[in-house]
Every structure is written in C-alpha cells, then in structure tokens.
A = this chain, B = another copy of it.
C-alpha cells in the first residue's frame, strides 16, 4: 500500500490511498496518518479492501505523508558516513555496541515542493538523504526481532542540517538543536511489502538518487546500514514506550565506495576532499539552490515519489 496526505488546509491533512498504478487515489477510512498508526490492525483490512480510486492524483496538492509526528528519532547507521563526519568535525566518539541516535524536531515534516527557509547561508546549509520507518505503538523493552513487525510504513526523508552549528553542538554533548531544523518527507509512505525484495533485513535496498541543482550528486544504496531499522527501533525503545506514529531515521545513506557513487550530503563530500586533498573544496548550499531526491528500484520505479525543495532566505 502507498499512502499520501492531501493538503486540505488542516495541519494534518487528509489521508488517501494511492492506486496500484500510482495515478489515482481513494479516501482512507480514517482522516489522518497519525490516526491510522494508532489503529493500524483495525483499519488496514478496510484500506486493503479499497478497489475504487476515483480521483486523479495529478490534481492534488500533497503534504508530507505524516505532516507532523509526536516523535522523530534519527539514527546514524551508515558507518562510512559516520567515520567521515567524525574526521571533519574532529570528534572522537567512543566505540559503542549500540546505534547512534538523536531526538529531532518532529512538529513539522515539510512537503516536497515547499521552500526550505534558513536565516543565513553562513550556517552551512546541507541536505541529508535518508530512509525512515513509521512504527505503531512499541512497548519499552521490545527486542529487535519483535520490532520488525512494528515497522508499518517506510518513508524517504531529507534531514536538513546546518553544519556551522553541528560541530559545536556535538561538542557540548547535548546533541543538535540549531543544527537540525525541520526535515522534509517524500510524498508517499509505503508498507514494507510494497518494496518487494528491496525490503531486506530491515533495510531499504534502493539507490537514493540525489541531484543538487540538477546535477547528480550521489546514488548510494540503503542496504549498507550497519544496523537494520528493527535494531534502531529496539534501541529507541530501550527505556521508553514509543508512541504510535514515531518516525525512526537511518541517517545519511552512504556506501563505502563513495568516491565512485557520490554522497547523500555535502558534508560527506567535503570529508572526502579533506582526506584526499587536505581541505574541503565544495561549498555548502546557497539561497536559490535546489535538491532533488528519489529512491529507485532496478526497474526505475520510485516508490516514495520525488522529494525536491529549493533553499530560500527565511
């Protein structure tokens, strides 16, 4: 199933089910995606029974599938990304046997097509292409094996980052606030089965195509997560109950052969430049720049749709 949220003028929008062909939609039996997450088992049979898709999707304006969430916990599960970032930030993390994760701003997930507003170009404006999952209610202490069945939907996210603030905030130990404003979410949330073989070991095994100002910047594949999403969910639930509708992120998608396939954020490319050339060469984003992200399967299909935004001055 593919779900989308119509912009009907309300904060949470109106949930719809997208047709198998991807060009039409039908109203969902519940108003919002948040409500669906709270009543997943009761409502999905009704969703699955929908056979008529009367409205053309082309005529609709979409919000993010989940326009706001009660909780957003973002991991950093791609080792090749983490190693590079540590190198350029100059932080030495202790070795741990648990995933890296921070709690981020969840009251807004921007829609594709909306402008991303930032106060200054001096903040080191950067995109971060990643995947995420949305869970139903996960009790405290849930194991990774149990967590897999709580992963109800998969999404694609741009975790906007302000690099000038990121390093100093990390060094306080308190994590990011200024460096991590609102994220954006690609138009469609899909059930894991919709991804077919590309959903494997709790990982989204799709290439994430990232274009900056119309030019290919990265095409890393989601298979390379050091921890699967089920392990991230279990980590998040170690000392808290996860509320239904919690979004868990993978962190920037990255592969070890980043010199060939590129990166899902500018900071990573700058890290490579530091390693290879002694200093970063690529500047961060300027006002007016655009970024486009699309995860594609072997047949060229994009299950989450296209996530594109322009950067503007707030």
Contacts and interface: CB of A to CB of B under 8 A. Distances in A.
A68 B71 CA distance: 11
Interface in A70-97: 70-71, 73, 76, 89, 91, 93-94, 96
A238 B168 contact: no
A259 interface: no
Contacts of A180: 103
Contacts of A218: none
Contact of A100 (B165, B172, B246): B172
Nearest to A74: B174
A146 interface: no
A171 interface: yes
A280 interface: no
A140 B119 CA distance: 8
Interface residues of A, number: 51
Given A105-B240, A239-B123, A175 B178 contact: no
A181 interface: yes
A93 B173 contact: yes
B173 A314 contact: no
A172 B93 contact: yes
Contacts of A168: 94, 96
Interface string A14-38: 0000000000000000000000000
Nearest to A180: B103
A61 B192 CA distance: 42
Contacts of A241: 108
Contact of A94 (B108, B171, B240): B171
* Prevailing SS type, chain A contact patch: loop
Contact of A165 (B93, B105, B178, B239): B239
Contacts of A274: none
Nearest to A238: B178
Contact of A175 (B123, B173, B181): B173
A141 B314 contact: yes
A60 interface: no
A299 to B, nearest CB: 37
B175 A107 contact: no
A132 to B, nearest CB: 16
A106 interface: yes
Contacts of A174: 76, 100-102, 170, 175-176
Interface of A: 68, 70-71, 73, 76, 89, 91, 93-94, 96, 100-108, 117-119, 123, 140-141, 162, 165, 168-182, 235-236, 238-241, 243, 246, 314
21 contacts: A68-B70, A70-B106, A71-B105, A89-B173, A91-B173, A93-B173, A100-B172, A101-B174, A102-B177, A103-B103, A105-B240, A106-B106, A117-B140, A119-B239, A170-B173, A171-B173, A173-B173, A175-B175, A175-B176, A178-B239, A179-B239
